[in-house]
């Protein structure tokens, strides 16, 4: 051991503590000891933007910290770190993390920053777990800086001071839980009164006015896109969540959140499919986490109907649509007929691909990808799409057919009007019956003391309430007006009269609509023979269902009278074996024949 007494002299004052002198003489220092002045940084935080902008609490906290530094030895302040509008329950705050990293960088070799100044200890942390706040404070003190609070005395050099510090952290945790409970009760009371208890509005709504006089109204542009997207998703035109997100992006829909700067991400769809958000779009407030288990009517106008919301919920509860994509979105701009045309041999959808030659050129093809198909062939993209355009030209209806089509739809419209009144009375009776059942169940719930029976009655009452809401929604939705009906008729007429222009100018959704209207069943294509359509197209089938008094469908057209031969078979029979005979009997049924040979007489 080295003799340090030769290097350092003994203290002149014999009364000095010898152990203290020895520790300074023997113990080597880990950091370079240099003469230093006191320096500080100030940290300020408020929980909301209103506290920062309207009440100016950030400036008040910063001025309080600088005043303390000026009164305690005129201590210079290096920096002021701010967290504006960030709640105390969030531990990873940018301003606080920057302050700690600044301390660690400045005090790496020796202590430059000696004080960390804030107004209260709760400005640093008020966590739900007290140990998390203790660890955060210990990280600040590990840099060598002392935490100073301007509004309260803090001294951790004694056991009593450490105890008071622990008590303050515990009080902060208690206050946080009380504030959360108080805010939750306030939101529940607002929801029960029919108001939306959340600060932000979902996409499709906006605030008109400022302050307490602001009212919530629908954003016509965004609300129309949201309504169309939810309805298409409910009726399986848009199959997956990715399809719905792509639909919203194509419509240039933007969010109300400033963090995303209006851009749509997958998290937007996740928020849209939350139960309380879906019911909110239907004009109801439903939040089971707050014990609001029955939808309460909202005071603002709805974007979509409750029936659409229930269809979406039923679709989401199936599970397969949540875990995986049931089918790829077939239609694309490069291959518009992919997934629409079928192979005549294996009855599977044709797919598409690009083939690259040895020269580097790419060629587009359609074809069947099933390995066991007997008619696998590569069909050039131009051949298949040009033949499809020729097919659309052949399907152009003559002008003489249009007046008849209009008369048929008009008669059907008049017949549906007569049934609307009786159907409305029937729904009103069902609603009254449902309300009486709910009242009886409520009386039984008040009388019973059996917990299991009470739970079953409550579940049954909730189901009846859902049926009641659907009936009320149906009764509130008015039918098409005459003007709206004629506008819809004109759009349908354009599909029928000019399908090629409709296909050329339309987007993916419009092309799907055209294929559904013009080709209701499968459409086959062979490289040699071309397209093979169905026996009838969808419009004829729908007209056959309408069945007006001025039209009727002719029966089977035979070649000759039916005569039985020596073997007991008719010469016009299609087959002689019993198996094929049974198939022919199925083909001879009226519904099958009407789809094969429609003949209309006006």
Domain boundaries along the sequence of the chain: 40-178, 205-323, 401-497, 555-602
Q: Is the dihedral of CA 394, 395, 398, 400 positive or negative?
A: positive
Q: Give catalytic residue positions.
A: 47
Spatial separation of the C-alpha atoms in residues 467 and 434, rounded to whole Å = 8
Which pair of tokens denotes residue 600? 């209309």
Architecture (CATH level 2) of domain 205-323: Alpha-Beta Complex (3.90)
187 Cβ contact partners less than 8 Å away, ≥ 6 residues apart: 197, 198, 290
pLDDT at 288 over 90: no
For position 516, what pLDDT does the model report? 66
For position 478, what pLDDT does the model report? 55
Instruction: Tell me which residue has tokens 């004829």.
Output: 540
Nearest to 350 by CA among 372, 335, 361: 335
Number of H helices, E strands in the chain: 21, 16
The mean pLDDT value of the chain amounts to 73
Catalogue the E-assigned strands of 123-243.
146-149, 205-208, 215-218
pLDDT, average across residues 362-389 = 86
Instruction: Tell me which residue has tokens 């077939």.
Output: 330
State if pTM tops 0.85. Answer: no
pLDDT at 460 over 80: yes
Q: Please, where are the H alpha helices in 368-526?
A: 381-394, 401-447, 451-476, 482-497, 499-505, 508-518
Q: Which long-range contacts (CB under 8 A, 24 or more apart) does 330-336 make?
A: 331/508, 331/511, 331/512, 332/508, 333/508, 334/364, 335/364, 335/366, 335/381, 336/385, 336/508, 336/511
When computed from its CA atoms, the radius of gyration of the chain, rounded to whole angstroms, is 39
- Distance between start and end Cα atoms, the chain: 122
> Any idea what DSSP says for residue 537?
-
For position 81, what pLDDT does the model report? 93
Q: Is the dihedral of CA 258, 262, 265, 271 positive or negative?
A: positive
pLDDT level of residue 41 (50, 70, 90 thresholds): very high
Q: Please, where are the H alpha helices in 375-400?
A: 381-394
Spatial separation of the C-alpha atoms in residues 127 and 176, rounded to whole Å = 8
For position 575, what pLDDT does the model report? 42
pLDDT at 62 over 60: yes
How distant, in Å, are the alpha carbons of 65, 143, 164, 455, 558 from that of 75? 11, 19, 26, 67, 110
Any idea which of 121-125, 304-308, 345-349 has the lowest mean pLDDT? 121-125
pLDDT at 330 over 90: no
SS3 148: strand
Spatial separation of the C-alpha atoms in residues 180 and 184, rounded to whole Å = 6
How distant, in Å, are the alpha carbons of 330, 422, 542, 577 from that of 497? 26, 36, 17, 45
Cβ 238 vs Cβ 244: under 8 Å: yes
- Tens of pLDDT, residues 240-263: 888 888 888 888 887 766 555 556
pLDDT level of residue 573 (50, 70, 90 thresholds): very low
Burial of 33 (0-12, 13-18, 19+ CB in 10 A): exposed
pLDDT level of residue 599 (50, 70, 90 thresholds): very low
Superfamily of chain region 40-178: Resolvase, N-terminal catalytic domain (3.40.50.1390)
pLDDT, average across residues 436-445 = 86
Which pair of tokens denotes residue 41? 């940084």
Burial of 216 (0-12, 13-18, 19+ CB in 10 A): middle
Any idea which of 391-400, 530-539, 563-572 has the lowest mean pLDDT? 563-572
Order of strands across the sheet that contains 115-118: 77-83, 40-45, 115-118, 146-149
SS3 159: helix
Any idea which of 402-411, 515-524, 536-545, 546-555 has the lowest mean pLDDT? 546-555
Cβ 143 vs Cβ 103: under 8 Å: yes
pLDDT at 344 over 80: yes
For position 263, what pLDDT does the model report? 67
Spatial separation of the C-alpha atoms in residues 165 and 169, rounded to whole Å = 6
Cβ 375 vs Cβ 345: under 8 Å: yes
Cβ 33 vs Cβ 110: under 8 Å: yes
What is the pairing mode between strands 115-118 and 146-149? parallel
- Tens of pLDDT, residues 316-328: 877 544 444 444 4
SS3 4: coil
Spatial separation of the C-alpha atoms in residues 138 and 131, rounded to whole Å = 10
For position 80, what pLDDT does the model report? 92
Q: Please, where are the H alpha helices in 48-92?
A: 49-53, 57-71
Per cent of the chain over pLDDT 70 is 70
40-178 and 205-323 in the same fold: no
The vertex-74 CA angle with 71 and 80, nearest 5°, equals 90
Spatial separation of the C-alpha atoms in residues 588 and 596, rounded to whole Å = 10
- Tens of pLDDT, residues 112-155: 899 999 988 878 876 666 777 788 888 888 988 999 988 888 88
For position 267, what pLDDT does the model report? 76
């Amino acid at each position: 051991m080295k003799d340090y007494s030769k290097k350092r002299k003994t203290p002149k004052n014999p009364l000095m503590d010898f152990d203290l002198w020895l520790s300074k003489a023997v113990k080597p220092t880990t950091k370079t000891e240099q003469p230093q002045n006191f320096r500080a940084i100030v940290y300020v935080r408020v929980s909301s933007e209103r506290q920062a902008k309207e009440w100016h609490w950030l400036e008040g906290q910063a001025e309080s910290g600088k005043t303390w530094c000026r009164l305690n030895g005129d201590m210079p302040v290096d920096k002021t770190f701010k967290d504006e509008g960030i709640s105390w329950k969030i531990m990873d705050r940018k301003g606080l993390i920057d302050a700690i990293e600044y301390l660690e960088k400045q005090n790496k070799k020796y202590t430059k920053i000696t004080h960390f100044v804030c107004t209260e200890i709760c400005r640093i942390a008020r966590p739900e777990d007290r140990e998390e706040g203790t660890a955060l404070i210990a990280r600040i003190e590990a840099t060598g800086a002392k935490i100073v609070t301007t509004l309260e005395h803090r001294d951790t050099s004694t056991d009593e001071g450490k105890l008071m510090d622990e008590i303050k952290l515990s009080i902060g945790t208690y206050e946080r839980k009380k504030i959360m409970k108080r805010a939750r009760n306030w939101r529940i009371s607002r929801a029960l009164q029919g108001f939306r208890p959340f600060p932000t509005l979902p996409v499709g709504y906006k605030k008109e006015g400022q302050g307490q006089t602001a009212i919530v109204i629908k954003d016509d542009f965004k609300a129309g896109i949201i309504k169309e997207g939810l309805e298409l998703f409910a009726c399986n035109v848009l199959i997956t969540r990715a399809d719905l997100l792509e639909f919203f992006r194509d419509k240039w829909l933007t969010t109300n959140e400033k963090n995303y700067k209006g851009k749509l991400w997958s998290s937007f769809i996740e928020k849209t499919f939350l139960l309380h958000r879906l019911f909110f779009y239907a004009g109801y407030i439903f939040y089971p986490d707050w014990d609001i288990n029955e939808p309460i009517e909202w005071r603002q106008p709805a974007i979509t109907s409750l029936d659409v919301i229930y269809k979406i919920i039923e679709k989401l509860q199936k599970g397969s649509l949540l875990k995986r994509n049931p089918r790829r979105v077939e239609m694309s701009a490069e291959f518009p007929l992919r997934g629409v045309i079928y192979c005549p041999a294996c009855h599977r959808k044709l797919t598409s691909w690009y083939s690259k030659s040895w020269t580097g050129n790419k060629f587009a093809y359609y074809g069947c990808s099933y390995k066991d198909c007997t008619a696998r062939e590569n069909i050039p993209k131009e051949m298949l799409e040009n033949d499809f355009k020729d097919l659309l030209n052949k399907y152009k209806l003559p002008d003489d057919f249009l007046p008849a089509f209009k008369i048929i739809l008009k008669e059907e419209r008049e017949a549906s009007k007569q049934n609307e009144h009786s159907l409305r009375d029937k729904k009103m009776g069902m609603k009254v019956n449902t309300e009486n059942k709910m009242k009886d169940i409520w009386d039984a719930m008040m009388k019973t003391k059996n917990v299991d029976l009470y739970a079953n009655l409550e579940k049954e009452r909730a189901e009846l309430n859902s049926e009641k809401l659907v009936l009320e929604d149906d009764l509130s939705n008015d039918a098409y007006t005459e003007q709206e009906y004629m506008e819809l008729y004109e759009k349908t007429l354009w599909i029928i009269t000019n399908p090629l222009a409709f296909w050329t100018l339309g987007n993916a959704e419009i092309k799907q609509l055209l294929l559904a209207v013009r080709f209701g069943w499968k459409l086959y294509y062979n490289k040699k023979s071309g397209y093979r359509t169905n026996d009838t197209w969808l419009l004829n089938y729908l007209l056959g269902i309408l069945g007006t008094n001025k039209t009727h469908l002719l029966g089977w057209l035979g070649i000759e009278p039916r005569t039985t031969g020596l073997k007991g078979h008719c010469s016009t029979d299609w087959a002689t074996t019993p198996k094929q005979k049974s198939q022919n009997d199925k083909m001879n049924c009226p519904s099958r024949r009407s789809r094969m040979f429609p003949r209309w007489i006006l």
